[in-house]
Amino acid sequence: MRRLCAAGGGYLDADTPVSRGSFEAAVYAAGAVLKACEMALRGDISSAFALVRPPGHHAGRRGIALRAPSRGFCIFNNVAIAAKAMLERGASRVAILDVDCHHGNGTQEAFYSSSKVLFISLHQHPYTLYPGTGFTHEAGEGDGLGYNINIPLPPMTGDDMYMKLIDEVVAPMLRQFKPELILVSAGFDTHRSDPLTRMLLTESTFLHVFKLLASLSEELKAPVVASLEGGYGEGLERGVKAAIASLAGLELEASEPKTESSRAVKSSITSTVRELEEATGGRWGIEWS
């Protein structure tokens, strides 16, 4: 990577071009998330949003993760690097919530056998979107069994069901896990206008997710550090604004009407939650109304 950039750039793979400055930018991106985590665990800040590029959650230990077709625009896994560093420096439990529309295959690969990291990913179903991983049965192995949580969502999932999952599945898991740090892979390509995906979310969901995280941070005494991942349309602007305002305790009204999921989507998600409970061995006692 360093040599390729020094030579003027090129392609790491079909999806991941690099320029002369990409290596330096990627190092700064990983360093920014790491610095934010250091400050958070020292008590200097209660939350942070690292507005970094390139993104990171598809990057695996040796580049491409879990036999994906590419690195998906990612060079270093900013969130995984920060989580591992914080564990090495004394943290006992770190939670990672990935809300990008694409599954965080690189992050899953990094912590698949660890019980010290609770990885939760909500993403468009892998049958319908890159990288083709993130099924409910991918629930961890060894000590990590039950700590790798995949919630694949059917295309056209609306605000109503996404918020329900956050409230009834994600939040209770975080409360039970009691992390010392909450990292967020903050992608906003779940927005209904995103050209690369097929979801129906609006800024109402982004506000809901980050307000809840701010509340959980206070409740659990666990700082929140978010790192920017994907987003390829107006949802990026709306999402970043909603996230930063919510973490800062500022009031921001949604300017878009909430979206509703179809009956078929609701039924599919209910089945997914049941599959998840089975895949994790009932570890989390999911209560789905």
* Closest listed residue to residue 131, CA positions, set 225, 22, 14, 265: 14
Amino acid at 113: S
Catalytic position from the list 58, 102, 191, 208: 58
Q: How many CA atoms lie within 13 A of 173 on its CB side?
A: 30
CA distance 17 to 109: 23
Instruction: Give the 3-state secondary structure of residue 101.
Output: coil
- Cα(79)–Cα(30) distance, integer angstroms: 8
In degrees, rounded to 5, the angle at the alpha carbon of residue 182 between the alpha carbons of residues 269 and 221 is: 120
123 catalytic residue (yes or no):
no
Do 79 and 120 form a contact (C-beta atoms < 8 A)? no
HSE, side-chain direction, 13 A CA sphere, residue 108: 32
What is the DSSP code (8-state) at residue 89?
T
In sequence order, what are the residues at sequence separation of 6 or more whose Cβ sits closer than 8 angstroms to the Cβ of residue 193? 233, 234, 235
Known catalytic residues are 58
